[in-house]
């Protein structure tokens, strides 16, 4: 088991950290703009999503992967993304939670986890903030059960637009309780939770191509929007990323079946890129 403390010096060879200047409020701005944070500029050629997305897309149309992008180019970009995910997976804690700083070089997962989904449930889904987890978690199953309860609370708390019909409500109700049953049943739980007691790697909910900056040679120069970063069950890291097509299945215009077909094609390329990166890492370490 790795220590609960995380030494930031271990990731310096992999990532370059930019200076973060003093956060400012509205009263500190001559133009009364704010609140805002001034950060050091990250030199880059493009946002990765601009290279991956389908060209000529109407403004109102959601962003999707360019179906004509070359396999070699897609694999190169997937490999860059895999480098970040692999690096994050090597930093772990013995609790599930958000970080607080101990000293200049050390951070601990000592606060409750705050995911992007949790934040949006309160911000848009009218979920009472008191329903959010209040502590860190020592086991993967306890965190998954807290998520199950959160989904149930969301369905009962959101007054508008939570369901579209009686059938939709029944489907969402059954799905939430089946998920909780899956967590609570010891036999079922043991089939898919790999590391019940950790270690729990670092995870960022908002890591995706839209938050990645690259140079002219398609190398990553920076990643932004790390606010929803915490330690999570290893299953989060092991699951294939949803963003391989840039669009989530629920918003795919051709439907779920078509999304799965297209996703499977790109998943094979992503896995090849991941394996290549891991082999490169092994070669450097030997």
Instruction: Name the helix (H) or strand (E) containing 221.
Output: strand 220-223
Residues 189 and 242 both lie in one domain:
no
Residue 255 included in any domain: yes
Give strand pairing partners of 214. 46, 220
Higher pLDDT among residues 269 and 29, named by residue: 269
Residue 234 included in any domain: yes
Structure tokens at 154: 């969301």
Q: Which of 198, 224, 251 is the last residue of a domain?
A: 198
Residue 103 included in any domain: no
* pLDDT value at residue 16: 55
The band of 125, judged by pLDDT with boundaries at 50, 70 and 90, is: confident
Mean pLDDT of the chain: 88
Q: Which of 174, 198, 222 is the last residue of a domain?
A: 198
Lowest mean pLDDT among 59-63, 218-222, 242-246, 268-272: 59-63
Query: Would you give the end-to-end CA distance of the chain in angstroms?
Result: 24
Coil/strand/helix, residue 213: strand
Alpha-carbon span 222 to 210, nearest angstrom = 11
Share of the chain above pLDDT 70, in %: 87
CA atoms within a 13 Å half-sphere pointing along the CA-CB vector of 50 = 11
Determine how many CB atoms are found less than 10 A away from the CB of residue 37: 10
Structure tokens at 130: 């008191």
Residues 178 and 215 both lie in one domain:
no
Tens of pLDDT along 152-181?
999 888 877 878 889 988 999 999 999 999
Total number of domains in the chain: 2
Residue 107 included in any domain: no
Q: Is the pLDDT of residue 6 over 80?
A: no
Residues 20 and 83 both lie in one domain:
yes
Lowest mean pLDDT among 8-12, 19-23, 224-228, 282-286: 8-12
Q: Is the pLDDT of residue 140 over 70?
A: yes
Residue 154 included in any domain: yes
> In angstroms, what CA-CA distances link 215 with 81, 212, 219, 220?
14, 10, 5, 6
Residues 84 and 213 both lie in one domain:
yes
Residues 77 and 135 both lie in one domain:
no
Residue 104 included in any domain: no
Q: Is the pLDDT of residue 15 over 70?
A: no
Residue with tokens 């601990």: 108
Q: Which domain holds residue 17?
A: 1-94+208-286
Residue 109 included in any domain: no
Over residues 87-113, the mean pLDDT reads 92
Q: Which of 158, 179, 198 is the last residue of a domain?
A: 198
Tens of pLDDT along 33-78?
766 677 788 899 999 999 999 998 888 889 999 999 999 999 999 9
Tell me the backbone φ, ψ of residue 203, rounded to 5 degrees: -140, 140
* pLDDT value at residue 28: 66
């Amino acid at each position: 088991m790795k220590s609960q403390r995380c030494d930031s010096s271990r990731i310096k060879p992999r990532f370059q950290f930019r200076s973060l200047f003093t956060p400012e409020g509205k009263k500190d701005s001559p133009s009364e703009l704010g609140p805002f944070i001034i950060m050091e500029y990250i030199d880059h050629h493009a946002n990765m999503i601009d290279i991956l997305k389908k060209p000529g897309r109407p403004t109102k149309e959601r962003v999707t992967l360019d179906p004509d992008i070359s396999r070699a180019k897609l694999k190169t970009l997937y490999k860059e993304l895999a480098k970040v995910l692999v690096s994050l997976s090597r930093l772990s804690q013995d609790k599930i939670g958000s970080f607080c700083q101990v000293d200049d070089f050390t951070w601990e997962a000592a606060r409750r986890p705050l995911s992007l989904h949790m934040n949006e449930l309160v911000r848009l889904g009218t979920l009472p903030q008191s329903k959010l987890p209040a502590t860190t978690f020592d086991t993967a199953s306890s965190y998954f059960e807290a998520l199950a309860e959160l989904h149930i609370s969301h369905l009962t708390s959101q007054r508008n637009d939570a369901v579209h019909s009686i059938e939709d409500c029944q489907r969402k109700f059954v799905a939430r309780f089946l998920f909780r049953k899956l967590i609570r049943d010891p036999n079922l739980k043991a089939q898919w939770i790999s590391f019940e007691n950790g270690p729990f790697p670092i995870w960022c909910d908002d890591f995706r191509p839209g938050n990645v900056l690259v140079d002219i040679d398609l190398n990553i120069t920076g990643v932004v929007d790390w606010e929803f970063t915490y330690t999570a069950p290893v299953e989060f890291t092991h699951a294939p990323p949803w963003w391989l097509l840039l669009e989530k299945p629920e918003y795919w215009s051709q439907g779920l079946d078509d999304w799965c077909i297209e996703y499977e094609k790109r998943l094979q390329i992503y896995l090849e890129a991941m394996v290549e990166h891991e082999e490169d890492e092994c070669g450097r370490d030997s």
